[in-house]
Amino acid sequence: MSIRHAAVALSAAACFSAMACSRPAESPRWPGGTLVDLSHEYSDQTVFWPTADPFKLEKVADGMTPQGYYYAANNFATSEHGGTHLDAPVHFAKGHWSVEQIPLDRLTGDAVVVDVTAASGRQPDYRAATGDFTAWEAANGQIGPGAIVLIRTGYSKLWPDAAKYLGTAERGQEAVAKLHFPGLHPDAAKWLAETRKVKAVGLDTASIDYGQSTLYESHRILYERDIPAFENLTNLDRLPARGAIVIALPMKIKGGSGAPLRAIAILR
C-alpha cells in the first residue's frame, strides 16, 4: 500500500470512529423477568364503593355476519373508582394532577412491598403505621426516593366477596359507615411523602384510608403532594420485599379523578 493510500485509509477509519462515538446512546432495553398481573378483572362481580355505579358491559354484537365472518363488540360503563384503579391527586386536592397529567415516570419504578397481613388479619380496621415501614427498612434497607410503596394487607384473597372485602355488601350512602378494611395511617402517609419522597403508594384494599375513615386524611396528605395511589391491587404475595419493577398504567381519561388501572410487576 502506498503512503498516499495508507493516509486515506487512516483518515477514513478516524472518520468512522468519530461517527460511531457521536451516535446517541441506545435507549435502555425493556427489563426481562417474570410478569405478574396486579389487577383484578372488570365484570359484574367487581367490587365497587357502596355509592359508586358498578361496571356494566352491554353486548352490541356477538356472532356471524351476513358476509360470513365472526364479529364481537360491546359498550361498557364504569365509575372511575372501582376495581383495580388509580386515584389521581385531583381526587382530593383541587388544582392538582388529573389522570392524564400524571407523568409516566410517576407510574413506573422500583417497588417495595411492606407486609402487614398479620396485623390486618387480627384487626380489620388496621392502619399501616410508620413503625411498619421502619421495621421493613431495618430488614431490607432504606426506602429510596422515587420508590413505589405497595402495602400488602392480604385482603386480595377475599375478592370479590364484598361482605368480607369491604365489611359490608350493602349499597348506598348508609353503607359507607359499615365499611371495615385496612388502610394507611395519616402519620405514615406524611412520613413516606416527606422523608422518603415516594412517587406512588398502592395497596390491596378499596382505599388508601381505612374503611372507617371519615376525613380521608391519607388521601389528602398524599394527593396534596402529587403522589397518586393504586387501589384494589392483587397478587402482592407474589412480589419480593424489594427488587420488582411496577408499571401501573391507567385509562387516560382527560380531567379524570381516577381511572381503571392495568398494573403489572416485573420480577427480575
Q: Which residues are catalytic?
A: 91
HSE value, Cβ hemisphere, 13 Å, CA-based, for 65: 9
Q: Please list the alpha-helical segments (H only) found in 37-91.
A: none
User: What's the sign of the alpha-carbon dihedral 170, 87, 208, 249?
Assistant: positive
Amino acid code (one letter) for 136: W
Distance CA 133, CA 152 (A): 12
Q: How far apart are CA 213 and CA 92, in angstroms?
A: 14
- Per 3-state DSSP, what percentage of the chain is helix, strand, and coil (rounded to 5)? 30, 25, 45
Residue count of the chain, please give it.
268
Beta-strand relationship, 200-203 and 34-37: unpaired
**Cβ neighbours of 112 (radius 10 Å):** 26
